[in-house]
């Protein structure tokens, strides 16, 4: 069955403007243009749009979705199973937060006592669940179950103050990395400050630090499109259509910020003082 842009928009519950944008940026092209100049979409476009909307629901950026769907190894069935697993994990996260809110309401009414640790338990568990959902397979394959489980246990054991510290540190890291990237020199003082902040941030999750592990992590940021997309938000790409075009600073878009951080950490780890 074929659909005009208006019918497809109504079917999918999105606007025709969104479909036109997907066409313009190359994410979803119509099957054909009819004699009246109308976009016509077929079954393959319907299936592709369903995948796009699932990824969008899970918070994946358009640029990343384009890379995922364009990959030669992309498998629609495998992707659908991952959507299912991710949505189940999301449901679990929401259930955990709802339970935390319910308990907080009872505590505020004086019906129960709630410790400071309990107040933040839901947030910490959500952080663990989110990391497992997005990157669990990769990091468990790369570092092993024991390492990941110890990291998760360390997160769950964070005090209220430590949780606040790591949140503030993450913000400081991103701001410093953005400013360093705009300078364009991975060896600059500001870039090396970002590396030091990144090391401190990692140590909230790791039992011990090593240069080799630090380099392995930032290389994974470059190799894995999901990590790359996160760091690209720090130095945003103007649009999906501009991917792989040189920027004003002379960098390439796409994984540019992740590449910059990796190169900066290479310099950082080469310094004898950084142990």
| Tens digits of pLDDT across the chain (275 residues) | 899 999 999 999 999 999 999 999 999 999 999 999 999 999 999 999 999 999 888 778 888 899 899 988 888 888 888 888 878 877 876 787 787 778 778 878 888 786 655 656 666 566 666 666 666 666 667 666 776 777 777 766 777 788 788 889 999 999 999 999 998 899 999 999 999 999 999 988 887 899 998 999 899 888 877 788 888 888 764 433 333 333 333 343 444 899 999 999 999 998 665 55
pLDDT at position 190 = 96
pTM of the predicted model, to two decimals?
0.49
* Cβ atoms of 124 and 163 closer than 8 Å: yes
pLDDT at position 142 = 65
pLDDT at position 12 = 94
Would you give the end-to-end CA distance of the chain in angstroms? Answer: 62
Q: How far apart are CA 199 and CA 98, in angstroms?
A: 33
3-state secondary structure of 74: coil
pLDDT at position 96 = 73
Q: How far apart are CA 66 and CA 231, in angstroms?
A: 17
Q: Rg of the chain over CA atoms, in angstroms?
A: 22
3-state secondary structure of 40: strand
124 Cβ contact list (under 8 Å, min separation 6): 155, 156, 158, 163
CB atoms within 10 A of CB 72: 4
């Amino acid at each position: 069955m074929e659909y005009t842009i208006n019918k497809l928009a109504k079917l999918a519950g999105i606007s025709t403007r969104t479909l036109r944008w997907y066409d313009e940026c190359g994410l979803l092209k119509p099957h054909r243009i009819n004699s009246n100049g109308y976009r016509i979409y077929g079954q393959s476009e319907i299936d592709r749009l369903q995948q796009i909307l699932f990824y969008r629901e899970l918070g994946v950026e358009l640029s990343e979705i384009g890379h995922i769907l364009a990959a030669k190894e992309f498998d629609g069935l495998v992707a659908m199973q991952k959507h299912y697993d991710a949505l189940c994990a999301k449901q679990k996260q929401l259930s955990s937060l709802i339970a935390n809110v319910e308990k907080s309401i009872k505590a505020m009414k004086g019906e129960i006592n709630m410790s400071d640790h309990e107040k933040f338990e839901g947030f910490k568990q959500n952080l663990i669940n989110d990391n497992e959902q997005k990157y669990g397979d990769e990091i468990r394959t790369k570092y092993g179950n024991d390492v990941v489980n110890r990291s998760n246990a360390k997160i769950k054991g964070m005090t209220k103050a430590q949780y606040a510290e790591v949140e503030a540190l993450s913000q400081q890291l991103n701001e410093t990395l953005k400013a360093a990237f705009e300078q364009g020199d991975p060896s600059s003082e500001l870039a090396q400050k970002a590396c030091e902040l990144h090391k401190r941030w990692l140590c909230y999750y790791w039992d011990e630090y090593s240069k080799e592990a630090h380099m392995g992590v930032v290389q994974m940021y470059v190799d894995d499109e999901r990590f790359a997309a996160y760091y690209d938000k720090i130095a945003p790409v103007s649009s999906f259509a501009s991917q792989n075009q040189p920027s004003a600073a002379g960098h390439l878009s796409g994984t540019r910020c992740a590449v910059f951080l990796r190169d900066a950490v290479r310099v950082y780890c080469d310094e004898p003082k950084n142990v």
